[in-house]
Amino acid sequence: MSYLRRILQPGETLRYVGRLHWIVYLPGLVLFAIAVTLAAVIVAAGQLGNFVPYLLIALDLVMLVSLLTLLAAAVRRWTTEIAVTDRRVIFKRGLIRRHTIEMNMDKVETVDVDQSLAGRLLGYGDIVVRGTGSSIEPFRKIAAPLDFRNQVTAR
């Protein structure tokens, strides 16, 4: 059972559930592409006998960092929950150390969306929910940020 389903109050309805965009995997995928390129260089460089052991060590390190980066992104994406109910905005992240932020809909003043060119093309962006007296910290790389904003502002 998800965190969002457990904390809903009696009579509260879930209007929108967001998530992190797949772009969070990009650093790990780039490192993986570098590892594949390095493996191709090792295969092609069979004649460079003295350098092959060093290239193998570099390949191992790049592959390990790539896999750890992809695993961290998967855990981050899996453990981040973003929701809009008829009463509040909810952000939750973390697996072992949980960080949650909730803001009542009555307190929301604005929802800022910041999208780069790549974000506009691929459908992700950063969101900041501003309320009376406080604001929720920016949430980065949220999928479909305009849909999220529309659910908060369309009461």
Distance CA 120, CA 97 (A): 32
Helix crossing, 26-44 with 52-79: angle to 10°? 160
- For residue 62, give the nearest of 29, 96, 85, 24 by alpha carbon: 29
pLDDT score at 1? 53
Where in the sequence is the domain holding 68, given as residue range(s)? 25-75
Q: What is the pLDDT of residues 90-112, one digit of tens each?
A: 899 988 898 888 888 888 888 89
60 assigned to some structural domain = yes
44 assigned to some structural domain = yes
Q: Where is the domain boundary, 75, 100, 116?
A: 75
Under a CB-based contact definition with an 8 Å cutoff, are residues 113 and 125 in contact? yes
Burial of 155 (0-12, 13-18, 19+ CB in 10 A): exposed
54 assigned to some structural domain = yes
pLDDT at position 59 over 70: yes
